Structure 1
Amino acid sequence: MTKNKILVIDDDLSLLEALEAFLYQENFEVRSSSQHQSIYEVIVDFNPDLIILDINLGDADGRTICDELKNSDSTAYIPVLLLTGLSYDDISQIGCLADGIIGKPFESSQLLFHIKELLSA
């Protein structure tokens, strides 16, 4: 059985390492990066089944990157799950083309539920 591939982009290195370890433990193939600038090269090289993308990437906005991915024929099919430190009230105001949004902090079971839901869609 082939493992689903998940690409994680977040500039918080400790969260990135924790997500990578958790997803690996849950039997996913994981590639992670704190550098959003290389996302397109990583997508071509890794061919992920799902992208987990932080909204606040320091000098970039994950919502903009998400919309660029969703508006490109070569990446529009890849589900994107946004991570955000915004409150749940603020999350409801987020306008972008993401397939899902989850607030930080989150329970690992909640994240896993969203991932499995998006991969089975």
Structure 2
Amino acid sequence: MSVSPELNREPSSVLARLRAVLEAEHAALIGGDADAIERLAAEKLAACRALEALLSVGDLTPPLKEELRRLGETNRANGALVGALLQNAEAMLSALGGAAGGSSASVYRGDGQAAASLSTGRPLGKA
């Protein structure tokens, strides 16, 4: 989705759109909706680019600066959620690797590139 020209002129519209995208992103992360997460990433990028364009030509008012600060907090919270979900997925892959008799499981880094295989020293269920 591209940001409409109206958003490029009105900071409060850009911030409102970014707020809506971050809230939808949070719901998609909680719900595990990969398609929505991918779509929202593109929307968030477009809104951030519009915000950068606005900031390059002028200052935000104090209320808009406060909203931008809150949006930063929301974005960091979503990032922390992504980190927790990634750790959970890596732990599950590690456990599955152990359950398969100590074989290793491939995982991906945050940038989508293949990472070193995970391997556990003992199979799942052995003490």
Query: What TM-score comes out, normalization by structure 2 length?
Result: 0.27
Larger Rg: 2
TM-score, L = length of structure 1 = 0.28
